[in-house]
Structure 1
Amino acid sequence: MNGSTRISNELGAEKPQAARLALHVVLVMALTEGVVLWLVLVLIRNVWGYAYSNEAEVVTYVATMMPILATSDLIDSLQSVLSGAVRGCGWQKIRACINLRSYYLVGIPVSILLAFVAHVGGKGLWKGIICALLVQVVCFSIIMFRTNWELQVR
């Protein structure tokens, strides 16, 4: 059972404290998984490239990209949990607006600026995605931690 289902079930059962607890549990689980995966990816970054090529240039590029990709995965795990919690509360419209605005107003422009204007290349594209994910995490966090859970059950 995922977090959004658990939260919506608890709210439907009129258990606001259990819904809040479910949110906290899935956030801790996502953060733990994200940090462990981040550490693994960063620690193996210098050998991971050999899975794709024996060319030194490819291996070096993969090694430079791995911390960025690992960071993206960590932030995405938090975003997924928080987004699911917003969905579990029945706020799909708010969720859709935040998703669209974070990518179209932040992620894509930052990606374009970094990759093509600042000539950062592939790293710039991923950093733009990370910016969009950060906007989502901040927005969803504000919503979830300001939620009146007792009011939600009504």
Structure 2
Amino acid sequence: MFLDAVSIRVSNELGAGNPQAACLSVYAALIMAITEGLMVALITILVRHVWGYLYSNEEEVAKYISIMMPILAASDFMDGIQCTLSGAARGCGMQKICSLVNLGAYYVVGIPSAILFAFVLHVGGQGLWMGIICALIVQVSILVVMMLCINWNQEARKAKDRAHNFAIAAEAI
């Protein structure tokens, strides 16, 4: 939800030479993402027993959906945080690192976890979502460490250098 907005805001602030504003933007977006995620998760959990009846009149389907909704709420909550942190990292020019984090989290952790839960431990559809949550936990953990280790002043200098080099290259054309 906040990925594009955070990415644009962080990159603009860094390019303008305002590293503290870029850092503040990340914190503000995280607070918004966490608040939104908690509200959506709470609503999802509160309506879980009636939500299934919007799709089917069958008791078994509605019951299964009510079981899946808390897992979906956790997944949605973690995904909001992950998107916000990914947007901040991309705003710092770390697109390649973000893509490697995504690949590693899903292919090394998420898919094997989903297979383990769903087919080895016989958790079924819940296990597939639990694998996604495992991948999201890995992504969020790595991205939090990245954000905590960022030297915002250095990132602002890098952004200005990239913009300057681009301007020189554009003049040469």
Under TM normalisation by the shorter chain, which class is it?
over 0.9
- Once the 2 structures are TM-superposed, how far is the Cα of residue 145 of structure 1 from its aligned partner? 1.3
Equivalent position of 1:9 in the other structure: 12
Aligned to 1:146: 149
Q: Does 1:96 align with 2:135?
A: no
What's the TM-score once normalised by structure 1's chain length?
0.99
Post-superposition CA distance 1:2-24 (Å, at most 9, x none): 01100000000000000000000
* Identity across the alignment (%): 56
Q: What pairs up with 1:9-88 in 2 under 5 angstroms?
A: 9-88=12-91
Q: CA deviation at 1:54?
A: 1.1
Task: Give distance in 2, aligned partners of 1:53 and 1:152.
Answer: 52
- The one-letter code matched in structure 1 to 2:75 is S
Task: Please list the CA deviations of residues 21-57 of structure 1 after superposition, one character each: whole Å capped at 9, or x if unmatched.
Answer: 0000100000000000000000000000000111111
Runs of 4+ in 1 over 6 A off after TM superposition: none
How far does residue 66 in structure 1 lie from its aligned partner after superposition? 0.2
Q: Which runs of 5+ in 2 are unaligned?
A: 158-173
Shift of 1:110: 0.2
Q: Where do residues 103-114 of structure 1 align in structure 2 (5 Å cutoff)? A: 103-114=106-117
Q: Deviations over 1:61-109 (max 9, x none)?
A: 0000000001100000000000011100001111111000000000000
The one of 115, 119, 127 aligned to 1:116:
119
- TM-score when normalising by structure 2: 0.88
Question: SS at 2:150's partner residue?
Answer: coil
| Larger radius of gyration between Structure 1 and Structure 2 | 2
Aligned with 2:38: secondary structure?
helix
Question: SS in structure 2 opposite 1:73?
Answer: helix
